A and B are shown apart, each in its own frame.
Chain A
């Protein structure tokens, strides 16, 4: 772990993990994107023909779709993409043993506290370094239960039938421009399968990091939770500071089969020059539960709306999200719930904090199809503004085609008030401590759902961000 002195020694808006490790990738494509680059990626991965065809088709869809005009400002993105390396492979081999991991990569992990986490609970860290899994170990217990927790590449290689049956079924390439882009150039990510009836107590964790200037990261994750299974997947990322804009566009597909319960937790803390445009969606079958727990810090612009398609009777979807927009950042986040079947229920709780010139937007969709009788949905979005220059907007879209549905929506905007600050200061806290306590209280309903180490990390990040935000 980096010591507190080191962290505090950084200026206010310096990025905590903003260091660059000197690592030369073994292979990378030239900047920019065309069919030749896609062919190279596919060939490097030694992929079956059907996947190459899928990639090329996705590229055509990507080229044909216009840039979205809604959400955040994407006007400089085209230029950024022309300079982006779409694929970089740091090593030839997958590493399983810690000893085999190259020293400079180890250093990066060490500075992020990875080895400690490894020693503590996780025999099963899947850590992504650049575009590929370099380090990936799996608990024996999971193997004995038939759980698959692989890199997405190994998923395709080792479980071709299951992979082909589900890949792209939740989020087809044509879903949106960035889903198409990811489908064309995806690299890295996880493939997870939980057999029916298997309950996992320890979360599956993947920790990854973008470490190559102008390297776009297009992780792709496919998760299949078997009938009646229970599991929790945790993903956390952090990226170093770069002089030019970086780009991250992931696609996460999850299938939650009948009566299964699945939770997907992400804490993302991108450096503030990153475009972060992610599509994540779960298909939730009869009686199943899906929960997205999504924390977004950093980045230049994040557009991310985890969604639950409630396909079977009694399915339940839950989206909890926190967004933190610092100076010059725009967090355009929220969630989507689509009620297709009767007695489906959903809940979205979204909290955002805007500081300085930061801007947060809640963008959500609740759709209830005709025939989704007695569907119930509740949306709550709360925004906290730290300074006069901070901004927040709410865009709740509600489409109800079913008379028996019940949908609730509640939105609040609060400012950290002088009275609140004075109350805390009159008890002896200085302004920064008072501000941090108010913010911690604001995000508490979501932070308490996080595993302890993540909650502690989140609180620490917020505290660092609060320093100097007042006065």
Chain B
């Protein structure tokens, strides 16, 4: 297997689009195939901005540095092109699409990956969807509900995981997927990610989180601490545990100094 990193972020500087506000101030990050990286940091540290920038959110703009995915310049691509190249972001706040069933939504997403003139076979799709839902231990009736419309927090996360399972990304960005989740919902997310990794050990994960607790369920290979728009420390899972004990204050002081 080729071990060269799938995602390489170099000296990335970025802010809110059309505003003179720097959020990322030189971020360097490399994620290898099959690796799980966690980025932890206090509110406003820029960790969520990093995820959105990689996914192509129109509200953020890179002002310096580069992001390479599988050897390609990601910043040059539209969000849909990035998705088709294998990037997936599980949203912190998934958006409601009233009147569109999850099944219909996923079918459209898969259809959009085909060449012009190629039609997704409906029976193949149905089979894939059933198989994916079975893998995640989900009730098939779930796929008939309109996307996120009237969903509980846990159901929205479950939907994100199902989408990830169907779209099979090479890189999954988890943007504070654990915020505001009770322990049951947290476990749904963790179990989903772990199951998909077991199935495809080459899938890389970038987990953005404020809290250490999700790392009890998904074991990271590398933990980064981000403060003030920069990664200030990187290490093994022990970094997260130290953070849990001492908090971000120490890093803030060090960064400010």
A interface, CB within 8 angstroms of B: 417-420, 422-431, 433-434, 437-438, 440-445
Contacts and interface: CB of A to CB of B under 8 A. Distances in A.
B83 interface: yes
A423 B91 contact: yes
B157 to A, nearest CB: 14
Interface in B70-112: 78-80, 82-84, 88-89, 91, 94-95, 97-100, 104-105, 108-110, 112
B79 A437 contact: no
Contact of A423 (B95, B110, B113, B167): B95
11 contacts: A422-B56, A423-B94, A424-B105, A427-B83, A429-B80, A433-B112, A437-B97, A437-B108, A442-B98, A443-B99, A444-B99
B57 interface: yes
Contacts of B97: 420, 423-424, 437-438, 441
B57 A422 contact: yes
Q: Which of A424, A427, A433, A445 counts the most chain B CB atoms within 10 A? A: A427
Contacts of A445: 99
B150 interface: no
A419 B95 contact: yes
B58 A427 contact: no
Interface string B141-167: 000001100000000000000010001
B100 A426 contact: no
B167 A437 contact: no
A428 B100 contact: no
Contacts of B88: 426-427
B79 A425 contact: yes
Contacts of B167: 427-428
Interface residues of B, number: 31
B59 interface: yes
Contact of A418 (B58, B105, B112): B58
Given A425-B80, A428-B109, A428-B113, 13 more contacts: A422-B57, A425-B79, A428-B80, A428-B83, A428-B84, A428-B112, A429-B80, A429-B112, A433-B112, A440-B99, A441-B99, A441-B100, A443-B99
Contacts of A430: 78, 80, 112
B55 interface: yes
A441 B148 CA distance: 13
B100 A440 contact: yes
A418 B109 contact: no
A424 B98 CA distance: 13
Given A422-B57, A422-B79, A441-B146, A427 B109 contact: yes
Interface of B: 55-59, 78-80, 82-84, 88-89, 91, 94-95, 97-100, 104-105, 108-110, 112-113, 146-147, 163, 167
B55 A426 contact: yes
Given A427-B83, A428-B80, A428-B84, A420 B95 contact: yes
Contacts of B80: 425-426, 428-431, 434
A431 B112 CA distance: 11
A89 B146 CA distance: 50
B75 to A, nearest CB: 15
Contacts of A438: 97, 100
Nearest to B57: A422
Q: Chain A interface secondary structure, helix, strand, loop or mixed?
A: helix
A408 to B, nearest CB: 19
Given A418-B59, A430-B112, A425 B83 contact: yes
Contacts, number: 79
B100 A437 contact: yes
Contacts of A425: 56, 78-80, 83
A383 to B, nearest CB: 14
A422 B97 CA distance: 12
B163 A427 contact: yes
B100 A444 contact: yes
A7 to B, nearest CB: 15
Q: Which of A417, A418, A423, A430 counts the most chain B CB atoms within 10 A? A: A423
A426 B56 contact: yes
A444 B149 CA distance: 14
B105 A437 contact: yes
A430 B77 CA distance: 12
Contacts of A443: 99
Contacts of A417: 95
A456 to B, nearest CB: 14
A322 to B, nearest CB: 12
Q: Which of A420, A429, A434, A438 counts the most chain B CB atoms within 10 A? A: A429
A203 B89 CA distance: 47
A426 B79 contact: yes
A120 B173 CA distance: 50
A8 to B, nearest CB: 11
Query: Lowest 7 CB-CB distances: which A-B pairs, in order?
Result: A441-B99, A444-B99, A441-B100, A428-B83, A423-B95, A425-B79, A427-B109
Contacts of B83: 425-428
Contacts of A429: 80, 108-109, 112
Contact of B89 (A418, A426, A431): A426
Contacts of A433: 108, 112
Nearest to A428: B83
A131 to B, nearest CB: 39
B106 to A, nearest CB: 8
Nearest to B163: A427
B58 to A, nearest CB: 6
Contacts of A419: 95
A384 to B, nearest CB: 10
B26 to A, nearest CB: 25
A437 to B, nearest CB: 6
A350 B123 CA distance: 35
Nearest to A438: B97
A174 to B, nearest CB: 42
B91 A442 contact: no
Contacts of B56: 422, 425-426
Q: Which of B59, B98, B110 counts the most chain A CB atoms within 10 A? A: B98
Nearest to A382: B98
Contacts of B99: 440-445
Nearest to A421: B58
A215 to B, nearest CB: 38
A434 B97 CA distance: 10
Contacts of B55: 426
Contacts of A427: 83, 88, 105, 109, 112, 163, 167
Contacts of A434: 80
A431 B83 CA distance: 13
